[in-house]
């Protein structure tokens, strides 16, 4: 098949309107974002403004896990630094485990365990007690704790909080943490955590209702977990005392894995138990100490039965010295989870791919994937940690997809700190997009984007679709999978096709680079693409992100005549997009022509393309690559009889 350079006839824009269509109006950020623009903390270019700030927190946590009673208890010392220009008379903390307290609002069923039991609360050395609003002390309302200090926290000042707490560990907590049998715990959102105070919203103390995920600030953590000997603890951050908890042989294998491109067995079937997987302690218990810097959360797993594979993987030049840097990937899984024998290899590819594709190297020294059958079916992400089902009875590709997806979350929201509670599409959609690109690379010949496009189209045609910009907790029931995952991933594919790979990646990389370890809002994402591409894409953001409009482009007619062939295309949907025509001529030549989006932004419904006389047309197709999510492809193709 030859591609022609035939010059087509003039595109006619004066065709009559078939029906009045909406024309997308500009994106207008909410008043709080406009206020941030005026204050210089955000910018119209999508970059952090010259006055951008964010709060910082340092946590010291000591916890004890009792596997027999399924209880976690702990004490924390929190230093909260007020980097904002505001004086804070109130502080908010999240008690996420109160999702399991009786009478707490939630939008999904949950096991009732009693939630968090607060044993003591102190600020700057002064003990606090429950108190009514406005009086020094604290008040717990569902999953949110409101604290009124005796003295407000001034700008550039800090406050020290000390809290002792405990809670019964639920077997499953919203599919994100819990325990399975007598040999595995995955502990997450387990400590009182200071809420985000940012330059746009201020205190963001939205309650945790279980369906939407999290919005957390960055900080530094030093935490220790006391467990019985024989239990291996992997957590967010660097293990500080390997010589105290790991036998020499295990520590040696771990060091070897950190230099090995081939997967190394750290713990095999014969390496479990006290004296094999861990050292033996005179007290029967060991304390595992971890330290993590510049993370938004910490989690850990504790297991007495999991095998452990590890290897290194390249992440690019993390420190700018001109040489490749590496991260260690871990796969912890119990023997029945046979698909997990490939999990470390999957993690190697995913971490390396995501580092390359985002042009943002993986920031930390390790990434641990933990098999959690009985706790979770799919996957859930935490900094440097992920919990994933065993995927027995499913294809190897299914496990690769979820490993790649959960590891892609290390970029969003773990490095690019988006607000999952309100805008789930910013992390889940971007992560699905990155996952699909990685999957298509890992399985050559597959188009991983197509499945999400089909899922979106099915939702769009159902007539029961939530807008992507609707807050995640308030999406229509059953629509989170589309509004947060399938549709935003599909729309990014369309945007990449609209702009071309080079320009798209230039803007995509700029977004990741600008907002690494910061807190972007949707309008920072929009403005970055507008600025880097040099195009006003408000029509695109408005049509796809704010509305539930659909795209339906059609070949209305193909009419040969004495003056050539007249091709009429109709824009039958409400989303304006360029029309990309591929026309096959009788001599086998292929002619391509694009109807620009401006045609539809003027309110038109039809456009006309002329093929000169002497060039018979045998086939016309709209969007032959399938990059745009057209809800009715049956009208995209015309073939001569």
135: domain CATH number?
Answer: 2.60.40
Same domain, 40 and 126: no
Please report whether residue 509 resides in a domain.
yes
Higher-confidence residue of 108 and 509: namely 509
Higher-confidence residue of 167 and 15: namely 167
pLDDT digits (tens, 9 = 90+) for 559-592: 999 889 999 999 999 999 999 999 999 999 999 9
- The answer to which of 15-24, 265-274, 613-622 has the lowest mean pLDDT is 15-24
Which position has the token pair 């309100």?
A: 422
Residue 396 has pLDDT above 90, yes or no: no
Model's pTM, two decimal places? 0.96
Q: Which domain holds residue 621?
A: 2-22+550-639
pLDDT band (50, 70, 90) for residue 132: confident
Same domain, 84 and 143: yes
Same domain, 88 and 169: yes
**Which domain-ending residue is among 546, 569, 589?**
546
H-run or E-run covering 599: helix 598-601
Please report whether residue 13 resides in a domain.
yes
Higher-confidence residue of 14 and 598: namely 598
Residue 528 has pLDDT above 50, yes or no: yes
Please report whether residue 354 resides in a domain.
no
Same domain, 70 and 144: yes
Average the pLDDT over 33-54 and give the result.
98
Q: How far apart are CA 47 and CA 510, in angstroms?
A: 9
Residue 14 has pLDDT above 90, yes or no: no
Same domain, 538 and 597: no
Please report whether residue 502 resides in a domain.
yes
Same domain, 67 and 197: yes
Please report whether residue 96 resides in a domain.
yes
Q: How far apart are CA 49 and CA 438, in angstroms?
A: 33
446: domain CATH number?
Answer: 1.10.390.10
Average the pLDDT over 405-417 and give the result.
98
Same domain, 77 and 194: yes
Distances (CA, A) of 442 to 74, 395, 445, 447, 495: 42, 14, 9, 11, 23
pLDDT digits (tens, 9 = 90+) for 80-99: 999 999 999 999 999 999 99
**Which domain-ending residue is among 517, 546, 575?**
546
Task: Count Cβ atoms within 10 A of the Cβ of residue 273 and give its class: 0-12 exposed, 13-18 middle, 19 or more buried.
Answer: middle
- Mean pLDDT estimate for the chain: 95
Residue 2 has pLDDT above 80, yes or no: no
pLDDT band (50, 70, 90) for residue 200: very high
Same domain, 480 and 569: no
**Which domain-ending residue is among 546, 574, 605?**
546
- The pLDDT value recorded for residue 133 is 80
Same domain, 80 and 160: yes
Same domain, 95 and 108: yes
- The pLDDT value recorded for residue 10 is 37
pLDDT band (50, 70, 90) for residue 373: very high
Tokens of 633: 């492809």
Please report whether residue 171 resides in a domain.
yes
Average the pLDDT over 263-279 and give the result.
97
Same domain, 39 and 73: no
Please report whether residue 68 resides in a domain.
yes
pLDDT above 90: percentage of residues in the chain = 93
Q: How far apart are CA 633 and CA 550, in angstroms?
A: 12
pLDDT digits (tens, 9 = 90+) for 321-354: 999 999 999 999 999 999 999 999 999 999 999 9
- The pLDDT value recorded for residue 597 is 97
Which residue, 356, 352, 418, 345, is CA-closest to 381?
Answer: 418
Please report whether residue 476 resides in a domain.
yes
Domain count for the chain, please give it.
Answer: 3
Residue ranges of alpha helices (H) inside 282-339 are none
Cis preceding linkage at 413, omega within 30: yes
pLDDT band (50, 70, 90) for residue 19: low
Same domain, 465 and 533: yes
């Amino acid at each position: 098949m030859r591609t022609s350079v035939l010059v087509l006839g003039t595109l006619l824009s004066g065709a009559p309107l078939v029906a009045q269509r909406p024309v997308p109006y500009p994106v207008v950020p909410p008043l709080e974002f406009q206020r941030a623009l005026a204050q210089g903390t955000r910018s119209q270019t999508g970059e952090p403004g010259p006055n951008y700030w964010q709060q910082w927190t340092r946590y010291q946590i000591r916890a004890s896990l009792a596997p027999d009673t399924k209880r976690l208890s702990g004490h924390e010392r929190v230093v909260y630094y007020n980097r904002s220009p505001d004086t804070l008379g109130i502080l908010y903390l999240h008690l996420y485990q109160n999702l399991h307290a009786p009478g707490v609002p939630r939008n999904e069923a949950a096991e009732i365990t009693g939630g968090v039991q607060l044993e003591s609360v102190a600020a700057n050395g002064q003990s606090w007690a429950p108190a009514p609003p406005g009086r020094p002390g604290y008040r717990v309302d569902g999953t949110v704790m409101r604290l009124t200090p005796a003295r407000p926290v001034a700008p550039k000042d800090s406050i020290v909080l000390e809290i002792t707490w405990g809670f019964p560990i639920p077997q499953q907590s919203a599919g994100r943490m819990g325990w399975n049998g007598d040999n595995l715990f995955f502990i997450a959102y387990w400590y009182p955590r200071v809420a985000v105070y940012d330059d746009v919203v201020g205190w963001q103390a939205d309650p945790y209702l279980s369906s939407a995920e999290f919005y957390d600030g960055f900080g530094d953590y030093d935490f220790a977990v006391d467990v019985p000997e024989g239990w291996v603890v992997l957590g967010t951050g660097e293990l500080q005392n390997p010589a105290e908890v790991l036998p020499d042989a295990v520590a040696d294998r771990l060091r070897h894995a950190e230099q090995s491109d081939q997967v190394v067995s750290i713990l095999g079937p014969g390496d479990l138990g006290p004296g094999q997987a861990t050292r033996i302690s005179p007290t029967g218990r060991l304390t595992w100490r971890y330290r993590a810097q510049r993370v938004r959360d910490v989690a850990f797993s504790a297991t007495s039965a999991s095998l452990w594979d590890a290897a290194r993987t390249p992440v690019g030049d993390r420190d700018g010295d001109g040489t490749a840097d590496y991260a260690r990937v871990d796969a912890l899984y119990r023997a029945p989870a046979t698909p997990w024998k490939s999990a470390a290899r999957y993690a190697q590819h995913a971490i390396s791919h995501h580092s390359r594709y985002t042009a943002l190297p993986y920031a930390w020294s390790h990434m641990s994937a933990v098999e959690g059958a009985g706790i979770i079916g799919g996957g859930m992400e935490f900094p440097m940690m992920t919990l994933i089902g065993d995927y027995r009875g499913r294809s190897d590709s299914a496990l690769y997809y979820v490993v790649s997806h959960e590891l892609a979350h290390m970029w969003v929201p773990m490095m690019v700190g988006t607000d999952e509670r309100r805008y789930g599409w910013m992390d889940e959609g971007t992560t699905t997009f990155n996952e699909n690109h990685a999957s298509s690379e890992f399985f050559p010949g597959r188009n991983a984007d197509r499945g999400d496009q089909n899922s979106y189209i099915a939702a769009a045609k159902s007539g029961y679709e939530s807008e992507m910009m609707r807050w995640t907790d308030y999406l229509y029931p059953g629509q989170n999978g589309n509004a947060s995952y399938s549709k935003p991933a599909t729309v990014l594919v369309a945007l990449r096709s609209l702009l071309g790979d080079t320009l798209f990646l230039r803007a995509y990389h700029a977004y990741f680079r600008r907002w690494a370890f910061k807190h972007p809002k949707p309008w920072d994402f929009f403005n970055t693409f507008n600025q880097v591409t040099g195009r006003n894409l408000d029509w695109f953001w408005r049509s796809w992100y704010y509305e539930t409009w659909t795209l339906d482009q059609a070949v209305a007619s193909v009419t040969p005549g004495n003056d050539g062939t007249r091709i009429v295309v109709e824009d039958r949907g409400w989303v304006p997009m360029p029309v990309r025509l591929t026309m096959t001529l009788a001599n086998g030549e292929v002619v391509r022509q694009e109807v620009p989006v401006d045609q539809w932004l003027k309110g038109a419904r039809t456009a006309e393309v002329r093929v000169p006389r002497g060039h018979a047309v045998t086939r016309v197709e709209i969007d032959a690559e399938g990059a745009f999510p057209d809800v009715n492809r049956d009208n995209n193709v015309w073939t001569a009889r």
